[in-house]
Amino acid sequence: MGNFPDIRTQIGDYVDQFVSFLDTSLEGFFDFIFFISSRTINGIADFLMWMPWWLFIILIVLMGWYFKSVVSGVLYGLFIFLIGTFGLWEDMMTTISIIITAVIICLIIGIPLGVWMAFSKGFSTVMRPLLDAMQTMPSFVYLIPAIFFFGLGNVSAIFATLIYALPPVIRLTELAIRGVDKEVIESAQSFGSSNWQMLKKVQLPQALPTIMAGVNQTTMMALAMVVIASMVGASGLGEQVLVAINRIDIALGFEAGISIVFLAIIIDRITNGVAGKFQKHGGATE
Amino acid sequence: MTAQIRVENVSKIFGPKPKSVIPMIKEGMSKEGILNKTNHTVGVYNASFEVEKGEVFVIMGLSGSGKSTLIRCFNLLNKPTDGSIYLDGEDIVAFNKNELKKIRQEKIAMVFQHFGLFSHRTILANVEYGLEIRNVSKEERREIAMNNIETVGLKGYEDKYPDELSGGMQQRVGLARALANDPDILLMDEPFSALDPLIRREMQLELLDIQERLQKTIIFITHDVNEAFKLGDRVAVMKNGQVEQVGTPEEIITSPANHYISDFIKDIDRSKVFQAEHIMTRPNALVSLKDGLNVAVKEMKENGISSVFVVNRSRQVEGIVTIDDAIQGIKEKQRLSDVLRHDITVVNQEEYINDLIPKALESQFPLAVVNGENKLIGFILRVHVLSGLVSEEINKSEAYYV
Ligand SMILES: Nc1ncnc2c1ncn2[C@@H]1O[C@H](COP(=O)(O)OP(=O)(O)OP(=O)(O)O)[C@@H](O)[C@H]1O
Ligand SMILES: [Mg+2]
């Protein structure tokens, strides 16, 4: 018979021990992260909820108008209004705050990592398989350590979202920095720029359009995670989808689902529009 | 003149272990040999020369001959694998990071073939870049930048972005940006190659014009012989990473060091390189006003010529006298000044043949060539002008008497 011999490796156990070790030894660190993230999410959510509903819709219309066209702006406003009529206004705001927080953290972590990868071949070689793993590992798997570190709730959701949504910012930042025209780099060098001046005044601004494309992707991936993230206790639209599944409630499932689609469209178009504005005189991606 | 830059045995090797190749170079192994044996590319091969303060030094050569590699050694965008480059007496190859930053900020600026402008910055911000790096105050750098933008003729464009300007204008920005740092030395790597011929000519003239005013030391790269000879006070010809010959345009044309160089300069437009002094004949006979008609006739007879220039005491041209007029004058007991003709054409010794052609065609007498002090130093016949255009060995053309 072709049975595999009875050899057992204990990698899973080691990972388990490692995670426990991290949890106990870095408890303060995780508490700190927890504190910061939950404060950010709550702050953004409170602000969005404090805002009168019509003001929020007007803002969406204006943004749509500025970054796309009048028609798009009105359409986006209509989408938001519809979500409100589903009775999902608060859930939408929670989802938006989770996404915004996740994206902000992604940028704070991702851009420096991407820059580092662009400058260090060694670091880049180490990071690449890691990024591949982050993107291909089934998301449910890292929900488990997330709960371990942060318990059930929005922060775990953010953690899981980060792992999934971080790679595009990192990759595109690296790509963008590496892609800056060689002669432009040399001309900056020839004026005696320090490395820091070079990065700040030339490489990052030149790379910005591409980095913005990464931001767009990251945002979309964060949005794609909302349902899965609800399994570790994230509230918001994703939670409603889960509830609908449990109750086999087609109506709620559809409403929550289409709300996520609406949000996706709006966020995609607006971040794309922002990227487009940066593109105008930017260098790297002509 | 003093040497501002002295290049001594500079080599630049590309490959995994560049230093290991240096001994082979010292043994005199060829570039191909090294490539075959060690898989290293020799970019520059044992180059030595000097660049003088205030001169336009042109490096020319075919594509791949190592021009860019060499010019990039001057601001250490390429660090030479071996050899020294002395800038005002200091070996910059040995400089540490801070010293290097300092000379890049203060002494040397570069203009790039594809401009290398910062597309995310306005023209003004581009020109300000070098000053910004040196932490010059906002008002001051703005003023300096505006002055330089004006110098290159781009006033009014300071708030535009590079992608809104034509190629020629973009390179003006590149030039203004380099000049804003007030460097002693300007490195220009094929700065006009990306421009179309008309704009290119305009830019060349403008560069000469700016150079006249600012008196920078310019190292200029081109693969265009005409451009090299038009701009260069001296020209270095490179082949396969080696500097084959260094000299003034005239020296290179009249005595090319080898076949490669004579091939290279074959289709040069000679009329734009050679000046009056290169094709003129030094007069065997000169007559002074006080000499009188008899002396004039005697000189003409002795030299077998039909007319002779007459100069005053300080050797300035007064006019010309022909043999017929002189004999007639003697018969009629006139003085030399009575038969003197004044409708002659006087040209400066530095005028290019190109500009002499119409004058030679119009004038019925030889052209009188004078130096900066207006003293007569030679004359040019119409034949000389034409032979100057075609002759390969101009110096050997037989002296020709009028
Ligand atoms: N960074 C590099 N790595 C390896 N080889 C190089 C590098 N830069 C230049 N070379 C090689 O050095 C030689 C000289 O190149 P260089 O660019 O100096 O030529 P060039 O005279 O400027 O030519 P062009 O007129 O095309 O600009 C070429 O054989 C080239 O392949
Ligand atoms: Mg080149």
* Each residue's pLDDT tens digit, B261-285: 888 787 777 777 788 888 888 887 7
Task: Please give the DSSP secondary-structure letter assigned to residue A4.
Answer: P
* Nearest in space to B325 (alpha carbons), one of B364, B365, B366, B297: B297
Tokens of B139: 């008002």
| Chain-chain contact of B109 with A190 (C-beta, under 8 angstroms) | yes
Measure in Å the smallest separation between the Cα of B395 and chain A Cα atoms.
44
Roughly what angle, to the nearest 10 degrees, separates helices B138-151 and B123-133? 130
- Predicted confidence band of residue B299 (pLDDT cuts 50, 70, 90): confident
Nearest to A183 among B102, B108, B116 (CB): B116
Query: B307-345 as b/e, with b when 16 or more CB fall inside 10 Å?
Result: bbbbbeeeeebbbbbbbebbeebbeeeeebeebbeeebe
Stretch B289-293: mean pLDDT: 83
CA distance A182 to A203: 11
Percent of chain B beyond pLDDT 90?
A: 43
Residue whose entry in the numeric block shows the structure tokens 């200029």:
B220
* Nearest in space to B72 (alpha carbons), one of A119, A201, A185: A185
CA distance B369 to B71: 39
Quote the CATH superfamily of domain B276-389: CBS-domain (3.10.580.10)
Nearest to A192 among B104, B116, B163 (CB): B104
In this structure, the dihedral spanned by the alpha carbons of residues B7, B9, B12 and B16, taken in order and rounded to 10 degrees, is: -140
**pLDDT of res. B383:** 76
E strand or H helix that includes residue B292:
none
Backbone angles phi, psi at B222, to 5 degrees: -155, 155
Q: Which residues of A touch B120 (CB under 8 A)?
A: 205-206, 208, 281-283
Task: Please give the DSSP secondary-structure letter assigned to residue A282.
Answer: -
Q: Is A202 helix (H, G, I), strand (E, B) or coil?
A: helix
- How would DSSP label each residue in B59-98? EEE-TTSSHHHHHHHHTTSS--SEEEEEETTEEGGG--HH
E strand or H helix that includes residue A13:
helix A11-25
| β-sheet with B376-380: strand ranges across | B346-348, B367-370, B376-380
Stretch B157-171: mean pLDDT: 92
CA distance A96 to A237: 9
CA distance B77 to B387: 46
Task: Please give the DSSP secondary-structure letter assigned to residue B215.
Answer: -
Q: Is B47 helix (H, G, I), strand (E, B) or coil?
A: strand
Q: Decide whether any atom of ligand 1 lies within 6 Å of the B63 Cβ.
A: yes
| Chain-chain contact of A192 with B77 (C-beta, under 8 angstroms) | no
| Chain-chain contact of A186 with B77 (C-beta, under 8 angstroms) | yes
Give me chain B's average pLDDT, please.
87
**pLDDT of res. B388:** 63
Task: Please give the DSSP secondary-structure letter assigned to residue A198.
Answer: I
**pLDDT of res. B399:** 40
ipTM of the complex: 0.78
List Cα–Cα distances, B31 to A55, A190, B240, in angstroms.
73, 29, 7
**pLDDT of res. B68:** 94
Residue whose entry in the numeric block shows the structure tokens 């800056």:
A180
Q: What is the CATH number of domain B3-107+183-268?
A: 3.40.50.300
CA distance A267 to A263: 6
CA distance A146 to A51: 32
**pLDDT of res. A257:** 93
- Domains of chain A with bracketed CATH: 11-50+86-285 (1.10.3720.10)
- Cβ atoms A128, A107 nearer than 8 A: no
CA distance B365 to B321: 10
CA distance B7 to B385: 38
The pLDDT tens digits of the residues spanning B9-29 come to 999 999 999 988 888 888 888
The pLDDT tens digits of the residues spanning B211-245 come to 888 899 999 999 888 899 889 999 999 998 999 99
Measure in Å the smallest separation between the Cα of A286 and chain B Cα atoms.
10
Measure in Å the smallest separation between the Cα of B5 and chain A Cα atoms.
18
**pLDDT of res. A199:** 94
pLDDT tens string for chain A (286 positions)?
Answer: 678 888 888 888 888 888 888 878 878 887 888 888 888 888 988 898 898 999 999 999 999 999 889 999 999 999 999 999 999 999 999 999 999 999 999 999 999 999 999 999 999 999 999 999 988 888 888 788 888 888 888 888 888 888 888 999 999 999 999 999 999 999 999 999 999 999 999 999 999 988 888 889 999 988 888 888 888 888 899 999 999 999 999 999 999 999 999 999 999 999 888 888 777 666 543 3
| β-sheet with B242-247: strand ranges across | B108-111, B185-189, B217-222, B56-61, B234-239, B242-247
- Which of the two residues, A29 and B61, has the higher pLDDT score? B61
Tokens of A74: 């009105």
Which residues on adjacent β-strands are paired with residue A79?
none
The pLDDT tens digits of the residues spanning B385-397 come to 776 665 544 444 4
- Cβ atoms A172, A217 nearer than 8 A: yes
Inform me whether the C-beta atom of residue B102 falls under 8 Å from chain A C-beta atoms: yes
- Cβ atoms B152, B176 nearer than 8 A: yes
CA distance A64 to A212: 17
* Nearest in space to A238 (alpha carbons), one of A221, A225, A250: A225
User: What are the sequence ranges of the domains in chain B?
Assistant: 3-107+183-268, 276-389
Tokens of B143: 């003023």
**pLDDT of res. A282:** 60
